[in-house]
Structure 1
Amino acid sequence: MDSVTPDYHHEMLEKDYLACCGSIQFAKEMALASPFPSLDHAISAARDIWFNKVDVNGWLEAFSAHPQIGGSTSSHHTKSPASAQWSKVEQSTALATATSSSLQELSDWNTCYRQKFGFVFLICASGRSTAEILDELKKRYPNRPIVEFEIAAQEQMKVTELRLAKLFSTKGTVTESGKQFSAVIAEKAEEDRVGIIGGHLAASSEDAAGKVTQFPARTRPPITTHVLDVSRGSPAAGVDVCLQMWKGTQPCPMFGEADIGSWIFQGLSTTDKDGRSGQLMSIVDVLNPGIYRISFNTGKYCPNGFFPFVSIVFEIRESQKLEHFHVPLLLSPFSYSTYRGS
């Protein structure tokens, strides 16, 4: 790294940020503001730049970098290969829950939307099914253009925040609100996710050829969660959630021993208005047995609460690898509980 010139390093930063948001103006401003001491600082800067420094043309440029939801990302032009790959992963739930009729309906509504507003329908698709996306598109279609333009910008920021988290995790550790999540993402994990989507899309042609399809029968990831704020009696929206798997030298973590670097990142998401997290891992038939940990950034959600973050550790045995594991969090400012749901 010592041989890298400052100008070349600066150029690499711009490319990184362009993958997070397709506006060149945004990428340049983020590169100028770098480096950031934590993910929180990067997101704060990104919000300020996106809403206060990027002009209308920059917003439209970022919108155009997104493929149509339900369409082909491989044929869509984008300035960044990483952005194209992330789009595939973000749409994996939608594609896994789609049927030929729902995809056609989504395509028809996308066409109507673009004709009315002049840009692609934009929504943070991570963890959302085709039905959910289609319902949201129909709800937003009657909006006035100026209102819809602002909503699209807000959705773009949600996508940017998720991608910044992925970008930071590939560079090392992700730090949020002073708390550390071990977040090293292997390129193979991303390839597996994209492969699952490709298997789903190719299923019909393989059946016609008499081949055995290998895409998963599940319609959701084998590990899911939601957060309920019991002090308010309502879902907890906006809680950051991280899923990790134990890969230490010992078969399982030992009580009281340091475990930094032994937890391997699986996925990162934020709970929606119903308190449900987005997709935290690939949709696979067979789950790898082992020790898993779901961490919740409760300090960010409830700054005055007792718990800066909550981690739930659980084991999935060989005999359970085909089962579904729903591990919710019931939270109040001074207590929490959990259980295995369905």
Structure 2
Amino acid sequence: MNIEHFNNLAFEHRRALLLDCCHCTRWAERLLEQGAAESVAELQQRAADAWQDLRESDYLEAFAAHPRIGDLRRLKEKFAGAEQGQVAAADETTLGELQRLNDAYFDKFGFIFIICANGKSAREMLAAIRTRIGNSRTEELRIAAAEQVEITRLRLDKLFAE
């Protein structure tokens, strides 16, 4: 799809496509309120800018739509398989540790571990969660929000590559 095709879609269809890229209602609405973008690059910039002006509750809405890294049952149900890096090929010990730390992370922060997993091995993600679980909630929310920006960028790229 190109940007012109996207701009000519019905409002609800554009909204649904944006929510597929980042499941945050306020974020999608802000982008749509700005009207048609002239290029994918402009839409990408608007997307990043709109994300920065949101509240914690908006971030948590987006985070909640992600599968947990290491939750194989849910990963198989989601379209996001490619975004989950190489988790599916990981050994059971690594996956078990990812699951355990995901649970501990959620218990500590109140949201799932968010990482742009594209191209990362399960061991790399395990190392990241081990490091990040020691952060404060404020710091971790900031990091997770930045990771979401990258995930959204990749999803928008994929949308416009189709």
Superposed pair shares fold, TM > 0.5: yes
CA deviation after TM superposition for structure 1 residue 29, in Å:
1.4
CA contact (8 A) 2:87 2:95 kept: no
- Where does residue 45 of structure 1 map in the other structure? 46
Q: SS of the residue aligned with 1:151?
A: helix
* Per-residue CA distance 1:97-117 (angstroms, 9 max, x = gap): x00111001100111100000
- Where does residue 4 of structure 2 map in the other structure? none
Given the two structures, how large is their TM-score scaled by the length of structure 2? 0.89
Which runs of 4 or more aligned residues in structure 1 lie more than 3 Å from their structure 2 counterparts after TM superposition? none
Within a 5 Å distance, the mapping from 1:1-342 to structure 2 comes to 9-52=10-53, 54-71=54-71, 72-73=73-74, 84-85=78-79, 87-96=80-89, 98-170=90-162
CA contact (8 A) 2:26 2:58 kept: yes
Q: SS of the residue aligned with 1:73?
A: helix
Paired letter, 2:86:
T
CA contact (8 A) 1:73 1:88 kept: no
Single out whichever of 161-170 and 14-23 deviates more from structure 2. Answer: 161-170
For 1:75 and 1:126, the matched residues in 2 are separated by 16
For 1:94 and 1:35, the matched residues in 2 are separated by 37
CA deviation after TM superposition for structure 1 residue 74, in Å:
5.4
For 1:34 and 1:64, the matched residues in 2 are separated by 27
Larger helix proportion of the pair: 2
Q: SS of the residue aligned with 2:160?
A: helix
Larger Rg: 1
Paired letter, 1:99:
D
Q: SS of the residue aligned with 1:63?
A: helix
For 1:34 and 1:137, the matched residues in 2 are separated by 38
CA deviation after TM superposition for structure 1 residue 149, in Å:
0.6
CA contact (8 A) 1:94 1:127 kept: no
Shift of the 21–122 alpha-carbon distance from structure 1 to 2, 3 Å rule, reads: same
C-alpha RMSD over aligned residues:
1.7
Question: What stretches of structure 2 of length at least 5 have no aligned partner?
Answer: 1-6
Question: What stretches of structure 1 of length at least 5 have no aligned partner?
Answer: 1-5, 77-83, 171-342
Shift of the 119–34 alpha-carbon distance from structure 1 to 2, 3 Å rule, reads: same
For 1:99 and 1:34, the matched residues in 2 are separated by 47
For 2:128 and 2:117, the matched residues in 1 are separated by 11
CA contact (8 A) 1:114 1:120 kept: yes
| Identity score, percent | 35
CA contact (8 A) 1:17 1:31 kept: no
Paired letter, 2:58:
G
For 1:37 and 1:26, the matched residues in 2 are separated by 19
Larger strand proportion of the pair: 1
Paired letter, 2:27:
F
Paired letter, 1:44:
Q
CA deviation after TM superposition for structure 1 residue 21, in Å:
0.4
Q: Which has the higher contact order (CA 8 A, sep 6+)?
A: 2
CA deviation after TM superposition for structure 1 residue 28, in Å:
1.3
* Per-residue CA distance 1:27-80 (angstroms, 9 max, x = gap): 11122224222221111101111011x22211100000001012123577xxxx
For 1:153 and 1:14, the matched residues in 2 are separated by 21
